[in-house]
Amino acid sequence: QQSKLDASRLRIISTKEPTQPIPNDQLVFGKTFTDHMLTIEWTKEEGWKDPVIRPYGPLTLDPASCVFHYAFELFEGLKAYRTIDDKITMFRPDMNMKRMNKSAHRICLPTFDSDELIKLTGELIKQDKHLIPSGKGYSLYIRPTLIGTTSTLGVGKPDKALLFVINSPVGPYYKTGFKAVSLEATDYATRAWPGGVGDKKLGANYAPCVLPQLQASERGYQQNLWLFGPEKYITEVGTMNVFFVFKNSKTGKKELVTAPLDGTILEGVTRDSILTLAKENLSPINWEINERYFSINEVIDRSKNDELVEAFGSGTAAVVSPIKEIGYRDYKIKVPLLPGEQSGELTKLVAKWISDIQYGNVQHGNWSKI
């Protein structure tokens, strides 16, 4: 009989060396971690074992563990915020747990009860509560991870796994903060493809994307814009989803557009939140909110017709990342910014909508979990 993941079986081993918070101005994204981590082992025979919160530290793994050879690894990224009234909340953790289970199922790792992992993550956060930074732009980045640990070079379904959660106090993802970035459109490499796993948060999706990013940066761009197929559809930017704003010059009608979830696009929680908020706030004032295919050629054409209004990336880490320029072949497409500012009008507004909810200025349904 396999046991289910059960938060009530949690054991806590507290650190003997608690640390002090790092000052906000010294936080570098994902470089330092809180005092504790959560680990839960799984075996095919027993199912999920007792969850343990223990001092943060190295894992001991057999070098034959299948994670090292065949990339049995998936992860999530979500954040906990210290709100303006000093409560600690997680932003839409149910969405991350749902996606984590989908990723697990896709690479034959064990699935689990999402609510139990949310509870356990809550306990982990509580344990290191004093290390969660405060202030706008600051938060605790939570990294749930699941790996296959079967010791074998045979390729097959793992019969052992380890789920762990580590937490990193963070400030702005980019050292430059909320600053518009320049992108190089990449059409010589492909991030994801139909029938592939681009919609899953697998570590194996990320490593191959670094070289094209470096190549873009050698040519003077900060990030790359992933194109797909002969149509040169715009899919994602760097490790984020991407949004464009167009304006129909005849009707004056504005459109917010992002690529549809066709299996090649990561099902971003920030992406979903932006679409929801845009439908609530912009549809009533006659905007179109669309998940549809759009290509770099459309962006070029609309830029020529003064119909390109703004563009931004969206993700948990950077939340909203404004775009100022896109290089593609001989084109240098300028994306308008507000005069003297680092983003367009809607980009700024979207960033405020989200941050108001995350820091507790505004309530939105059950998006913030205490």
Chain positions contacting ligand COI, by CB under 6 A: 77, 239-240, 315-318
Amino acid at 5: L
Q: Where are the alpha helices (DSSP H) in the chain?
A: 66-70, 93-106, 114-127, 210-218, 269-281, 296-304, 345-358
| Closer residue to ligand COI (CB): 9 or 143 | 143
Minimum separation from the CB atom of position 271 to ligand COI (A): 10
Minimum separation from the CB atom of position 338 to ligand COI (A): 24
Minimum separation from the CB atom of position 200 to ligand COI (A): 12
CA dihedral 205, 208, 211, 212 (to 10 degrees): -60
Residue, CB closest to ligand COI: 315
Which residue, 8, 3, 200, is CA-closest to 101?
A: 200
| Closer residue to ligand COI (CB): 101 or 239 | 239
Which long-range contacts (C-beta less than 8 Å, at least 24 apart) are formed by 206-215? 206/239, 209/238, 209/239, 212/186, 212/188, 213/238, 215/184
- The set of residues, in sequence order, having a beta carbon less than 8 Å from that of 365 and lying 6+ positions away, is none
Give the number of other CB atoms < 10 A from CB of residue 370: 8
Which residue, 166, 169, 167, 160, is CA-closest to 39?
A: 166
DSSP, res 21: P
| Closer residue to ligand COI (CB): 29 or 56 | 29
Minimum separation from the CB atom of position 238 to ligand COI (A): 8
Minimum separation from the CB atom of position 12 to ligand COI (A): 28
Return the exposure string of 34-50: e unless at least 16 CB atoms fall within 10 Å of the residue's CB, then b.
bbbbbbbbbbeeebbbe
| Closer residue to ligand COI (CB): 33 or 287 | 33
**In the Cβ-directed half-sphere of 125, how many Cα atoms lie within 13 Å?**
27
| Closer residue to ligand COI (CB): 65 or 316 | 316
Minimum separation from the CB atom of position 339 to ligand COI (A): 28
| Closer residue to ligand COI (CB): 7 or 261 | 261
Minimum separation from the CB atom of position 96 to ligand COI (A): 10
| Closer residue to ligand COI (CB): 169 or 315 | 315
Task: Tell me whether strands 52-55 and 11-12 are parallel, antiparallel or unpaired.
Answer: parallel
| Closer residue to ligand COI (CB): 53 or 202 | 202
Q: How far is CA 61 from the centre of its chain?
A: 27
Length of the chain: 370
Minimum separation from the CB atom of position 143 to ligand COI (A): 9
| Closer residue to ligand COI (CB): 181 or 318 | 318
- The set of residues, in sequence order, having a beta carbon less than 8 Å from that of 280 and lying 6+ positions away, is none
Angle between helices 93-106 and 269-281 (to 10 degrees): 130
Minimum separation from the CB atom of position 29 to ligand COI (A): 7
